[in-house]
Every structure is written in C-alpha cells, then in structure tokens.
Structure 1
Amino acid sequence: MSLREIYDRTFDESCGRSIDATACPECDGMLETEGGETRCDECGLIVDQYYIDHTHGPRVFDDDPEPTRRTGSRLTPARHDRGLSAEIGYNRDANGARLPSKKQWQLHRLRREHRRARFGSKAERNLAHALQEIARMASALDLSQSVAEEASQTYRRAQNHDLIRGRSLEMMAAGSLYATCRCRGLPRRLDEIATVARCTVEQVQTGYRALNSELRINAQTVTARAHVPRLASDCGVSAAVQGRAYELAELADDEGISNGRNPAGVAAACLYLATKQRGGTQTQADFSTVANVAVPTLRARYYELRERV
C-alpha cells in the first residue's frame, strides 16, 4: 500500500527507500527498507515496493575528462540500418575549422569505401532504395514522420513475406504508403499517391492489393468528415463554413447518406451547402474540381443533404 503517488516521491539511492513514513499503518511498528521493499519489522506487512529510480542520470566513469553524454539519434525503421550507420563529413571538422586538402582527399576515399560497405547484400540495397522512396513520397504529400515510419515497417513486413519478388520496388513502396494511409483513415486517394510516385495508379492499386491479401491490412473506413478539412483548405473557405460543413458531414455519416457513395463527393456537397447557408460565393464546379468528382455527383449529394437538413 503506497502512502503517496508514484511521481510525487523521490528515490533514496543509498537505502532504496521511496516513502517518507517511518511507522507501520497497521501496528505502528518500525519500517525497514531493503532492496527497494519497505516492510514492517513487527507484522511483516509490505508497505511499499518500488524499484525504478527516476533520478538516475548517465553513467560517469572516474577516468573520463568530462561526464559521458548520451548522444545519437533514435532508432527508426525508415532507414535500412535503423539509423545506426555513421556519416563522414566533408570539408570541416567538429570545431568548424576548414580541413587541409590532404585531409579532404583522405575523407573522400573513406566516404567511398564506407558507401561501398554500407550494404551487406542486394536485399539491403533494395530496402534502402524503397525506404528512400517512401520518405520522398511522404514529404511530397506532407505526411508526418510517423506515417512514413509505419509505411516503412509495412514494406519490411512485405519483404519478410517475400512479396517484393517479381514486383517493382516503387510499386510496393507506393502501395505500402497507401496502405498506411488506409490504416490510419487518412483521406488520400490512389491518384494522389500515384502523382508523387514513380508508377501509375494501376500499379499502386496492384501493390496495395498484394499487401492486403497477404498481410491482412486493417484498413479503416474513410468518412466524409475526414475529407472536409482538406477540401476546405484547398477551396479557401472561412472557418465558419468549414465548421458548418463538418456538422453536415457528421449528419451525413450518422444518417447513412454517405453509405455506398464517394466520401469526397459527400464532403464537397457539405461544403457547398454550408457555403450557401453562410453566404459564400463558391460554385459547385469549384468544389467538384477540388474533390475530383463530377458536378452531377455533387449535385445529387447536395439534394439529399438539403432534404435531410
């Protein structure tokens, strides 16, 4: 039984005591701490046990001229070696001073040999190329680093299941990124991925189907409300119109209007109806162009929403 919250107390490194009480709450006996466990000498009640030292810092050795610091980047699946490789500089040293020409030529030769020995096999070389493609596409689509890392992990799973053999690296990399967007419920279409990828829409779809059939991708349903912020930003509508369109999109999802329909078209219809209610000037053609749907599709969803509202 702890007498105070875990994060409100300190840890006595000399004896392992983690509470300030000195008497047992049951029999008022004396408390003794040993090995991070506090117990009563009279009744044997274990009052507290706590083995985590939150105050411990980096290890410091006596022969070090200065305390050892924890440096280096964190491990990431977005790199083929998970970020453990070293990088050799070019023309300046650690203090910023320019290196002499002889030292620069030596570093040039070291970089060349380091680049040659960077990959242990052809599979690692192909993995590095695919992960660079995923990072490039994620940056072009303005996706977060966590999405790129998850897509890299999906590609690694595909490589472990031998799904890359007979398929292009670019196709599987684009399929992994699209599968990650589907798993997170992000409103990204196939043509958006294909625009920044080095493959066609059909190839992206083929790569995603291969991943979905073999890895059982847990794809989330993309709702109309997920498309509203991006379409509102592309159309340049006001915050009031965007808020009203989000409410209409929630109504469409709850009432089943968006069932079996393109969620982008439903979101565009919500934005158009909200614009008309708030006195905007955008037309149906403006919203249909941004949403990549036909004007009759937007108009049909608009009529359905107007009847429900």
Structure 2
Amino acid sequence: MASTAKYGDTVCCPYHPEAYLIEDYRAGDQICSDCGLVVGDRVIDVCSEWRTFSNEKTSTNPSRVGGPQNPLLNGSDLSTIIEVENEASSFNTYGGSKYHNHRSMTSSEQTLIHAFREISNMADKINLPKTIVDRANAYYKQVHDGKYLKRRSYEAIASASLYIACRKEGVPRTFKEICAVSRVSKKEIGRCFRLIVKASDTQVNFISSKDFMSRFCSNLNLPTSVERAATNIAMKAVNLDIVPGRSPISIAAAAIYMASQATNDKRTQKEIGDITGVADVTIKQSYKLMYPHAKILFPNDFKFSVSIEQLPQF
C-alpha cells in the first residue's frame, strides 16, 4: 500500500513533497511526477461520463446534468412530480400531506407530460418504436395547442394520436389493439380520431387487409405460403367486390381462415379471432361470401393439401 504525506490538507509524495502530482482519472489515482509513486487512490472523476461532440461556436454544454430537453415542452422538463398514495405514512398528524409538489409547471404543461407518458406506456405494451411515439406526441401537442377537443380526456386524445401515428408510419393498428392498452373505450378513441382528423385537416391513408396480413400470420405462426395465399384471397375479394361493406380486418381474418384450411397448418376461427380481434361470427359471415368464389381467389401456384371441395362449408 502506498504511503502518503500531508502538508496541511494537501496530499503529496513522502519522498518528493514539492513534486507535482499527476491525476489519472481513468484509474482514480494520484501519481508522483518524479518517482511514479501512487500517493492517492479512488479519486472521484468529476468530468462528464461521455465524450461530447458539440459545436464550439455555441455556449451551451450538453454534458452537464439533466435529461434531454423535450422540444414539445416549453421548459427544460427537469421538474419532479411526487405522487401521494392514500396511506397513513403519506400524511402528518394533522391530516395534511407530507409531500408537496412545487407549482413551477402550469396545468397545461402537466397535462402534456401526463399525455406523453401515457403514449409512451401504450407504445411499450404493443412494442411500437420511438419514431411512432414522437409522431404521436407531436399530434397530441398540435391538438392541445389548437384546443380542438377541450371536453375530451387526455387519455382519449393520446390514444387517438397514437392510432393516427401508427397509420401515418405505415404500421397501422386496429382500434381494438389500441383500446387493449388504453384506459378509454374503443368508441371514444374512434370519436376522437374522427374529430382530430377533421379539425386538424390531417390526411390519413386508407388501410387495406394487406397492411395487417403479415403481422396476423406471424402471430399465428403460419408459413409464408399461407400468408401469400391469404393476401391474394383478400385482394381479389375486394377487387371483385365479393365482400361489400366488410372491414379490411374482417376480410383479412376470413382470408387467413380460408388459406389455412387448405393446408396442413389449419387455424380455427377462434384462434384467428383472438389474434385479429374479429368475432367468430364476423369471420364466418365473410368466409361464407368468399367460399363460392374460392377457385378464383386462390393463387394459381398454390399447393393445396386439402381440395377446395373439402373446405369447410357453413
């Protein structure tokens, strides 16, 4: 163990008291510049923990403490909100709360933070990337600043914003999928969606069965041959107007059912319904419309394990 000499409060080398000490921040040591003796160890590194590639022309230093700023918030977003639970330990002997939040944020900013957190939590539950979260936050901010939906809850607007962002990014989710991770009803999400599109003049592309086919078949563990056949069945059924008035999701579910029944990788209506969110009766009704045209709906190169005549009939 290295010996250490001190003159007053200064650490120095016992053999070369006046020698300059070199500080090795990586190892946390203080080394004598004359003899190389380690005279101090476990020195705290006060530098930043990462290398900074900043523009020298600016006066800001991004390596200082604090999280990254959110451009959608007016402040630097360094506030802390203490949630008080309804427990005895949270209150003093007079019944007052022991913890108090500083009112440094306006109610509008607090609503934004709660909404952004809600969007992030919903996106995490259905494995959506950050690009969609950022886009949903931007839509919510636009609605919030425009004050389009004053009487709607922030949870409903956040859910609708996430639904719009998914469609804009080309990875649409159904209302039922958003509703499953939200705290509001499917009806309320749909109502907010229509109001946001109308008020903000946002153009949302139409969805088709093809947009959901890959994800549904993957979740059902179906091979690519079934996916291609189901996609072909759904597209032809729409082009030939065989399933008028049916939603793209219902058509996709019925097409998957028909394609799987013609192979050894069969899936029941209930299994498909659990993944797609479509009721068994709805799948059955769409399938009944497709069945009479099955010969022209399947791809020409499809390899049948079960003939069309042996497909289920309802």
Tell me the TM-score normalized by structure 2. 0.59
2:275 counterpart residue number: 290
1:128 counterpart residue number: 113
The residue type paired with residue 147 of structure 2 is D
Q: 1:304 to 1:134 in 2, by over 3 A?
A: farther
Which deviates further from its counterpart, 173-182 or 140-149? 173-182
* Kept after mapping to 2: 8 A contact 1:235/1:290: yes
Distance of 1:196 and 1:240 partners within structure 2: 31
Report the Cα offset of residue 60 of structure 1: 6.4
2:73 counterpart residue number: 80
Is the counterpart of residue 300 in structure 1 residue 288 in structure 2?
A: yes
Report the Cα offset of residue 233 of structure 1: 2.2
Distance of 2:240 and 2:146 partners within structure 1: 41
* Kept after mapping to 1: 8 A contact 2:237/2:290: no
Report the Cα offset of residue 230 of structure 1: 2.0
2:138 corresponds, among 153, 156, 160, to: 153
Number of aligned residue pairs: 220
Alignment RMSD (CA, Å):
3.2
1:178 counterpart residue number: 163
1:228-261 CA-partner distances (Å, limit 9, x unpaired): 1121122221233223323434444554556632
Pair member with larger Rg: 2
1:200 corresponds, among 185, 195, 212, to: 185
* Kept after mapping to 1: 8 A contact 2:212/2:252: yes
Report the Cα offset of residue 206 of structure 1: 2.3
Is the counterpart of residue 246 in structure 1 residue 231 in structure 2?
A: yes
The residue type paired with residue 246 of structure 1 is T
- Give SS of 2:121's match: helix
Report the Cα offset of residue 296 of structure 1: 2.3
Report the Cα offset of residue 212 of structure 1: 1.6
1:255-298 CA-partner distances (Å, limit 9, x unpaired): 45566321112212222232233332323343244331324224
- The alignment-based identity, stated in percent, is 22
Report the Cα offset of residue 225 of structure 1: 0.8
Report the Cα offset of residue 135 of structure 1: 0.9
Distance of 1:140 and 1:175 partners within structure 2: 16
The residue type paired with residue 227 of structure 1 is F
Report the Cα offset of residue 214 of structure 1: 0.6
Report the Cα offset of residue 124 of structure 1: 0.8
The residue type paired with residue 170 of structure 1 is E
1:116-163 CA-partner distances (Å, limit 9, x unpaired): 3762x2111111111111111111122111111111101111111112
* Kept after mapping to 2: 8 A contact 1:186/1:226: yes
Q: 1:259 to 1:181 in 2, by over 3 A?
A: farther
Is the counterpart of residue 116 in structure 1 residue 102 in structure 2?
A: yes
Matches within 5 A, 1:247-266: 247-257=232-242, 260-266=245-251
Tell me the TM-score normalized by structure 1. 0.60
More helix as a share of residues? 1
* Kept after mapping to 1: 8 A contact 2:246/2:286: no
The residue type paired with residue 148 of structure 1 is V
Distance of 2:261 and 2:213 partners within structure 1: 16
* Kept after mapping to 2: 8 A contact 1:269/1:298: yes
Q: 1:224 to 1:305 in 2, by over 3 A?
A: farther
